[in-house]
Amino acid sequence: MKLNQKQVTVILRQQGYRLTTQRRAILKTIARSRSHLSPAEIYKRAKQKDPKIGLVTVYRTLELLSHLGVICEMNTRSNARSYLIRGPEEHHHHLICTDCGTVVHFTCCDLSRLEKRLSRETGFEVKGHLLELSGRCPSCQKTAPA
């Protein structure tokens, strides 16, 4: 289950950030979506709630929400970013269809051995990871040759 708007509002306030009308419109837009949204889609929808909102505000708010760890950031097949509200304790990754852009979320990944090895070999302190796998979804495999 993903975080709701009220939970994210509490996180923002606990971290000392104000909840402006623009941030509220952006947050509401992302929270109501069931799929990843591009910054342009977020801007378009949030502007309906607050006509004064600017695209720069959308990008700054996305940067803040990402920094606070309340949204999931993903690269799409065209190398554009898209966003979705995270679950409270959710750790998830993505399978992305390179043909149609379908995104499938998955949670199972045990990269602890790899993280430990990389840390040992490089001296890097690993704090977390993101995993995106690309390929072709079942529908695209049926409709078009590789």
Q: Identify the CATH class of 93-143.
A: alpha beta
Highest mean pLDDT: which range of 82-91, 92-101, 102-111, 121-130: 121-130
Q: Which of the two residues, 48 and 95, has the higher pLDDT score?
A: 48
Q: Is pLDDT of 50 > 80?
A: yes
> Per the structure block, which two tokens stand in for 85?
């509200």
DSSP string, 78-100: TS-EEEEEPPTT---EEEEETTT
Name the segment(s) of the chain with CATH classification 1.10.10.10. Answer: 5-85
The domain made up of 5-85 has a fold known as Arc Repressor Mutant, subunit A (1.10.10)
Q: What is the mean pLDDT of residues 23-51?
A: 89
Q: pTM above 0.75?
A: no
pLDDT per residue as tens digits for the range 51-84: 999 999 999 999 998 888 788 777 665 667 777 7
Q: Is residue 74 within 8 Å of residue 86, measured between CB atoms?
A: no
Nearest to residue 77, comparing CAs of 98, 105, 106? 98
Q: Is pLDDT of 129 > 80?
A: no
pLDDT of residue 90: 57
DSSP state at residue 37: B
Name the segment(s) of the chain with CATH classification 3.30.1490.190. Answer: 93-143
Q: What is the mean pLDDT of residues 41-49?
A: 93
